[in-house]
A and B are shown apart, each in its own frame.
Chain A
């Protein structure tokens, strides 16, 4: 077996409608340029995208599952961040 395994890349694609690039999956490629070419074939065979980003998988730092509570729970109690928290009389009109 070859010890020369191609590195892994994470692939991000922007679709037709001007939204953010979105993670679609990963693939192996020797370098960034080949990763883009391969991503074209693997992830955009049906016009799924107009732009591709590739990032070496090992360059991504992820939050750890055990931090889920401390990271995300504080937002639970802050319902006033949502517009529906406030009762505005109908007569005021759309707001």
Chain B
């Protein structure tokens, strides 16, 4: 999802596990939380750094497509709301970076890996936000999909991650509702506005489905992550839940989900729907989406352009501290 393709390390059978590893797995099976200074398998630590790092990067890069509309929001109120929403996403990134830091990697190291392309962020943020209705669709669908993934992660086995998720989930519902509110306004507006809302749904539907990651049959890393409870549901489970939740919401708006195969399946108690184009997904992940270059470029530029400022504040702080020492 926000961490769509997390390579997990160290899948082992019980016979291959050391006594420490068995005791660790038993703690997780009992539902105990793992805390920063406690012993953990190296694979658990590395996989978590990858997952939390990807998650944090997604929150930060995710500010860019929406930030695009802050200066062009249609009213002052919408502008203030969008600004608050984007500011929340900055906060989410910060909660997650500091949670990841408890695993022995620094925030600057994580950022360096983002900037060098070594670490990924969610594919969804490599699509452009062309109209104001896109801001509605992003809040409704993208934050909606994020919530679907983040709610179960509040019970994840790593304490700092679970606590960050609890804070984040408290704030996400505002995000989805403000998006849906924009969609309601657009869908009940002029025919042109309604067409804009439909167009936004058309473009964001499949990329939103991709947020949950590849289909379970192609998702090689799930089993170990699920045993460690750093992944709670499978990709397909969450995707199904998302579709079932979204269909009536689209109906209420009078918009059509762009999938001719979408229909209720009484037997499975859920909708049948078309899979997204997975070759597009892998292309976007590999760096070839419509906005990859622009997004990463903006991040690197912000980091580089901010260097003098970060260094300046640090130099000031050090000077003030040494002056205080001298006076003591």
Is the C-beta of A2 less than 8 angstroms from some C-beta in chain B? yes
Is the C-beta of A34 less than 8 angstroms from some C-beta in chain B? yes
Q: Is the CB of B91 within 8 A of A65?
A: no
A-binding segment of B234-242, B260-268, B287-295, B310-318: B310-318
Q: Tell me the chain A residues, 1-58 only, with Cβ under 8 Å from chain B.
A: 1-2, 4-6, 8, 25-28, 30-31, 34, 41-42, 45-46
Determine how close the nearest CB of chain A comes to the CB of B57; give it in whole angstroms: 16
Q: Mark B61-81, 1 if CB is under 8 A from A, else 0.
A: 000000000000000000000
Determine how close the nearest CB of chain A comes to the CB of B325; give it in whole angstroms: 14
Is the C-beta of B107 less than 8 angstroms from some C-beta in chain A? yes
Inter-chain CA distance A45–B85, complex, in Å, is 11
Inter-chain CA distance A34–B313, complex, in Å, is 9
Q: Which residues of B contact A2 (CB under 8 A)?
A: 108, 307, 310-311
Is the C-beta of B112 less than 8 angstroms from some C-beta in chain A? yes
Q: Is the CB of A8 within 8 A of B313?
A: no
Inter-chain CA distance A40–B38, complex, in Å, is 31
Q: Is the CB of A30 within 8 A of B317?
A: yes
The residue on A at minimum CB distance from B170 is: A46
Is the C-beta of B205 less than 8 angstroms from some C-beta in chain A? no
Is the C-beta of B256 less than 8 angstroms from some C-beta in chain A? no
Q: Is the CB of A30 within 8 A of B314?
A: yes
Is the C-beta of A84 less than 8 angstroms from some C-beta in chain B? no
Residues of B within 8 A of A (CB): 35, 37-39, 84, 87-88, 91, 94-95, 98-99, 101, 106-109, 112, 163-164, 167, 171, 307, 310-311, 313-314, 316-317, 320-321
Residues of A within 8 A of B (CB): 1-2, 4-6, 8, 25-28, 30-31, 34, 41-42, 45-46, 62, 64-65
21 contacts across the A-B interface (CB closer than 8 A): A1-B108, A1-B109, A1-B112, A2-B108, A2-B307, A5-B108, A6-B310, A25-B95, A25-B99, A26-B98, A26-B101, A27-B94, A30-B310, A30-B313, A30-B316, A31-B316, A31-B317, A31-B320, A34-B313, A34-B317, A42-B91
The 8 A-B pairs of least Cβ separation, nearest first, read A31-B317, A30-B317, A30-B313, A26-B98, A65-B38, A5-B108, A30-B314, A4-B314
